[in-house]
Amino acid sequence: MILKVNIDSFSYSEKTILKNIQLTLKPGQHLSVLGESGCGKSTLLHLVYGLLHLNKGEIFYGKRKLLGPRYSLIPGEPFMKLVAQEFDIMPFTTVAENLRSHLSGLEEENDAQRIEELLKVVEMEDFKNTLVKNLSGGQKQRVALAKALAREPEILLLDEPFSNIDSVRKNRLRRKLFTHLKEKNISCITATHDSDEALAFSDQIVMLKNGTVEMYGTAEEIYNNVSDEYQAGFFDDVNLLSKHLFTSEDTSEEIVVFPHELLITKDETNLKVRVEKCYFKGNHYLIQSIWKGKEVFFEHSVKLDINSIFWLKYSPNSSL
């Protein structure tokens, strides 16, 4: 079934948090809600799950309208699971006992197998019999993820699900989790400010700004169609430069230029920069330079001398 979200507006007291939000989520699809802190990402998940009442708008799952907490003794839809930033786990029981509490309890052998499967997904096999209270924040977050998956929800809602997990483990865990969701055909909405995660794992991305939809589309559509500093700023250091620098047009229009789209050239161009700093990024350097008092970022394969002068050309979608 398809989830359809239509939020005309949602407010806390007199402050409007969300407005004019229209989203659809197909079975097995992963939608990322991308935005800065305070833009309404968590509120959107809470509305979808049924923790908040939507006065102006409606949410449907298939043909059934989701009515929210005013019409339910226990807030939250039974076919969904929400992993919030406050973990819903029991601190004085073991990791395995936390997972077992969300299983049927009728078939001990099947439950044991399911617990092992979930522990592998979140890489917590070695902590099966550890009390949750003795775990780190990142480990608790992984337990909360596993617990939400225990009964295979139809829709999983994740609110900054990897915020407490170190970057080395985070990359591997994201691959495992989102692969597991695809295999089980579980739909997923993730609220995140991590653009790398959104680009790599999402079927669709909705970018929010001040509670409204700024952009909505596939990862490729979003990345290739950014038009201002706010949009582009999620994905990279960004330059906002006059279009006339790169064309013969007599225009005052400014365009968004990513660092990888600026290349050093031997030809004299309108963009003559002086190198200020070089930041090592592993397979390249991010070069911070100055052009007429304005910072300009570009990428280069080797470190450049400070105060050296270069001409840059614009090469859309280029890479080292």
Q: Give the dihedral of Cα atoms 54, 60, 64, 70; nearest 10 deg.
A: -10
**Confidence class of residue 320 from pLDDT cuts 50, 70 and 90?**
very low
Any residues with CB less than 8 A from the CB of 80 and at least 6 apart, and which?
Answer: 48, 49, 50, 153, 154, 155, 156, 157
Any residues with CB less than 8 A from the CB of 40 and at least 6 apart, and which?
Answer: 17, 18, 208, 211
Are 254 and 227 a contacting pair, CB within 8 Å? Answer: no
pLDDT digits (tens, 9 = 90+) for 187-217: 999 999 899 999 999 999 999 999 999 999 9
Hey, what amino acid is at 52?
A: L
Structure tokens at 319: 């890479």
Point out the least confidently predicted range of 12-16, 74-78, 104-108, 316-320: 316-320
Decide the pairing of beta strands 309-314 and 262-265.
antiparallel
Q: Give the integer Cα–Cα distance in Å for 5 and 59.
A: 5
Any residues with CB less than 8 A from the CB of 179 and at least 6 apart, and which?
Answer: none
Q: What is the CA radius of gyration of the chain?
A: 23
Structure tokens at 91: 């601190």
pLDDT at 190: 97
pTM of the model as a whole: 0.89
Q: Supply the DSSP string of 15-30, one letter for each residue.
A: EEEEEEEEEEE-TT-E
* Helix H or strand E encompassing 142: helix 137-149
How many CB atoms sit inside 10 A of residue 173's CB?
Answer: 21
Q: Give the integer Cα–Cα distance in Å for 50 and 30.
A: 19
Return phi, psi of residue 295, to 5°.
Answer: -70, 135
Structure tokens at 113: 């197998």
Are 157 and 109 a contacting pair, CB within 8 Å? Answer: no
CA 16, distance to chain mean position in Å, is 23
Q: Does domain 236-314 have CATH number 3.30.300.30?
A: no
pLDDT at 105: 66
**Average per-residue pLDDT for the chain:** 92
Integer CA distances (angstroms), 82 to 3, 154, 222, 284, 320, in order = 15, 11, 26, 39, 40
DSSP 3-state assignment of 282?
A: coil
CATH topology for 3-231 is Rossmann fold (3.40.50)
pLDDT digits (tens, 9 = 90+) for 141-183: 999 999 999 989 999 999 999 988 888 889 899 999 999 999 9
Domain locations in the chain?
3-231, 236-314
pLDDT digits (tens, 9 = 90+) for 31-75: 999 999 889 999 999 999 999 999 899 999 999 999 889 888 788
pLDDT at 316: 85
| Alpha helices for 72-214 (secondary structure H) | 95-100, 108-121, 137-149, 167-184, 195-201
pLDDT at 209: 94
